[in-house]
């Protein structure tokens, strides 16, 4: 069995990284790319200065905020049981940068690209005792090199879609060593367990545990503080909350909101963008102006309770946002797929764009 990804995988990554800037259109994506390029340097520097070899280090990696919420629940439980551990959180998406500061890790940063020149120095500096991958974002070179230095590897909330490209040739052969390096895979379902075995995880290392997002969501709903929008909720009977939205969602929503307000003047719309960057918020405000809607009001403002159009301009407040509405829209359905677990946990009526995975709740 190969102990590292084949040369074709390593060559593909080495050739692809210089091409990435030419394929990116959004400012956020370009910012994330530059963050990943320098991440190894920052992670290595932290390890050289702050790594305490007398204490275990748990490294959690998640692709974005949704995966991070699942992993954060596990990381929080580990910290409560073992308060002496050091913790590192890495992410791939730029949308998780702000979220990373909220989970209480000793260090949070982008994950560098899966290249040996980046991975080996940071592993030497961090020397993780345990490396946790959340849900599906497992990187083969990182996994195999971490295993080689004695780190224990686990995939938590592990899931593989039936139509995942990872299950197809030649991708499976390229990434199989990473899955084979896992010491433990905590699968969401029996079907996921079967697909993980196809990817190379040893069968006796797969345990079906359910989805940690359920536990994370329940705890998050319970712990929503009486601040921000939850403190100025307005009337839920006239309020719709659109969470994790992209510009494609917002165009449809605001155009529809114009018509709704003509028949129901007291209607309110709360928009929680997936990536509330300055550019995104500026675009949302410009769209509202073009449609002759009132300007969006930040959820942190007192007048948010009376404003017809409210924007949640910080990440980490989606659960509190859903608490203020009587109906929820799950963003991303027009652009890709989203899972409406958090809004369904709030027991509000839920809708979504075409392709939204409502049936999976």
Comparing 7-222 with 228-351, is the CATH topology the same? yes
- What percentage of residues in the chain have a pLDDT greater than 90? 62
Instruction: For domain 7-222, give the CATH number.
Output: 3.40.50.11720
> What's the pLDDT band for 275 if we cut at 50, 70, 90?
confident
Query: Is 303's pLDDT higher than 80?
Result: yes
When comparing pLDDT for 220 and 203, which is higher?
A: 203
- Give which of 132, 170, 181 is closest to 11, Cα–Cα: 170
Lowest mean pLDDT among 95-99, 109-113, 275-279, 336-340: 336-340
pLDDT reported for residue 325: 82
Structure-token pair, residue 298: 């930040």
Question: What residue ranges do the domains of the chain occupy?
Answer: 7-222, 228-351
Digit-coded pLDDT (tens) for 20-55: 988 888 887 888 999 999 999 999 999 999 999 999
Assigned CATH class of 228-351: alpha beta
Digit-coded pLDDT (tens) for 222-269: 665 544 454 455 677 889 999 989 999 999 999 999 999 999 999 999
What are the beta bridge partners of residue 225?
none
pLDDT reported for residue 33: 93
Its pTM stands at: 0.73
pLDDT reported for residue 350: 53
pLDDT reported for residue 29: 86
Digit-coded pLDDT (tens) for 207-226: 999 888 777 766 666 665 54
- Torsional class of 264: left (φ above 0), alpha (ψ -120 to 50), beta (otherwise): beta
Query: Is 112's pLDDT higher than 50?
Result: yes
Q: How confident is the prediction for the chain on average, in pLDDT?
A: 86
């Amino acid at each position: 069995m190969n102990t590292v990804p084949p040369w074709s995988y390593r060559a593909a990554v080495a050739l692809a990284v210089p091409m990435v800037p030419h394929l990116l259109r959004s400012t956020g994506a370009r910012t994330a790319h530059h963050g990943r390029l320098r991440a190894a340097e920052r992670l290595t520097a932290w390890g050289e200065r702050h790594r305490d070899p007398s204490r275990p280090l748990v490294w959690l990696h998640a692709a974005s905020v949704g995966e991070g919420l699942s992993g954060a629940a596990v990381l929080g439980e580990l910290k409560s049981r073992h308060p002496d551990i050091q913790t590192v959180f890495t992410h791939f998406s730029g949308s998780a940068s702000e979220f990373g500061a909220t989970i209480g890790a000793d260090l949070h940063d982008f994950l560098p690209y899966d290249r040996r020149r980046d991975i080996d120095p940071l592993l030497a500096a961090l020397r993780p005792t345990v490396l946790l991958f959340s849900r599906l974002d497992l990187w083969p070179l990182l996994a195999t090199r971490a295993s080689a230095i004695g780190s224990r590897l686990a995939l938590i909330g592990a899931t593989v879609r039936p139509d995942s490209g990872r299950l197809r040739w030649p991708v499976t052969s390229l990434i199989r060593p990473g899955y084979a390096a896992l010491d433990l895979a905590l699968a969401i379902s029996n079907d996921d367990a079967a697909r993980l075995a196809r990817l190379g995880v040893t069968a006796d290392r797969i345990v079906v545990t359910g989805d940690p997002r359920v536990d994370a969501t329940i705890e998050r709903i319970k712990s929503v503080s009486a601040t921000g929008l939850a403190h100025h909720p307005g009337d839920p009977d006239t309020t719709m909350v659109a969470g994790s939205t992209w510009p494609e969602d917002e165009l449809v929503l605001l155009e529809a909101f114009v018509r709704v307000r003509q028949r129901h003047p007291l209607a309110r719309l709360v928009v929680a963008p997936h990536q509330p960057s300055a550019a995104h918020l500026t675009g949302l405000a410009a769209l509202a102006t073009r449609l002759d809607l009132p300007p969006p009001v930040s959820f942190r403002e007192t007048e948010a309770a009376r404003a017809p159009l409210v924007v949640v301009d910080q990440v980490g407040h989606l659960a509190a946002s859903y608490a203020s509405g009587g109906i929820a829209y799950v963003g991303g359905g027009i652009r890709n797929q989203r899972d409406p677990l958090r809004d369904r946990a709030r027991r509000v009526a839920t809708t979504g764009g075409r392709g939204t995975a409502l049936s999976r709740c």
